[in-house]
Amino acid sequence: MDLWKQAEDGIKNFLSSDGKYSINRLAGIVTVTDHKKNLILVDGFIQTLKESLNRQVLIEAEVVEVTLEQGQSWGIDWSTVQSVLIGKKNVNFVGSQNLGLPGSVLQFTASEHSSDVVLDVLGKFGDVNVLSKPRLSVMNGQTALINMGKVLTYWELTGVAAGSEVGQAVIYPTQKTVMLGLTMGVTPYISADDHVTMQVLPIVTDA
C-alpha cells in the first residue's frame, strides 16, 4: 500500500473547490490551503491515519515442508486435516470451510502452541520438517516479506551488433540473481475493534 497515495486520496475528499494541497514525500510535509471547516476535516483525517499507521502486529510463522509417503501422490487431503482438527480442543474454524472449491483456504484460530497439533496431523501424510520459524513486527497496512530458500547467481549473455560486417557482435555478460524457494508477502490490517486481517501472498520459485 502506498501510504502517501492513501493520504492524498483522503485529503482530496475533504477539500472544497477552492482548496489546494501539496505533499513533500521526502520531508514528510503536507501543506493544505482551504476554508477553516475543511482544514479541520483534513486535520482529523490525518490524525486518524497517523494513529492507524502507528499500530503494529507481531507475526510468528512456521514454514513447513512435508515429504509425502508412498500412496500420497495426490498431495495432502485438507478435508482430512479439517476433520481431525474439529475434534481438537482450542481450535475454532473461521467461517464456512468448503475445501472442495478451487482456491479454498483452511482457516481456523487456535491457542498458543496449537501449531503442534497441526504438525501432528500433517505427519499422517509424510515426514514433516519445519524449515523456518520467522518472527517479525509489521506496521499496520505495510507489507513484509518472508524469504525461505537460496539465492542463485547466474550470468546472462547479451549480444550487441557491432561493426559493419554481417554477423559480427559483441557479447556482454551480466550477473543476475534469482531467489529459489518460498517468498511470502504478508500484510496485516488492524480494524477499529482490534481485529487483525492478514493478506498472504505466497510465491514459490524453482530452478
Model confidence pLDDT, tens digit, residues 93-108: 665 555 555 556 666 6
8 Å CB contact between 134 and 146: yes
Spatial distance between the Cα atoms of 64 and 10, rounded to a whole number of angstroms: 41
- Which of the four pLDDT bands, split at 50, 70 and 90, describes residue 44? very high
pTM over 0.75: no
Residue 34, pLDDT score: 95
Residue 97, pLDDT score: 55
Whether residue 45 is predicted with pLDDT greater than 90 in this model: the reply is yes
Contacts of 7 (CB under 8 A, 6+ apart): 23, 30, 46, 49
- Which of the four pLDDT bands, split at 50, 70 and 90, describes residue 38? very high
Give the three cell numbers for residue 133: 520459524
- Residue 7: is it exposed, middle or buried by C-beta count within 10 angstroms (0-12/13-18/19+)? buried
The model's pLDDT over 122-178, given as tens digits with 9 standing for 90+, comes to 888 889 888 888 899 998 888 999 888 888 888 888 776 665 555 667 778 888 888
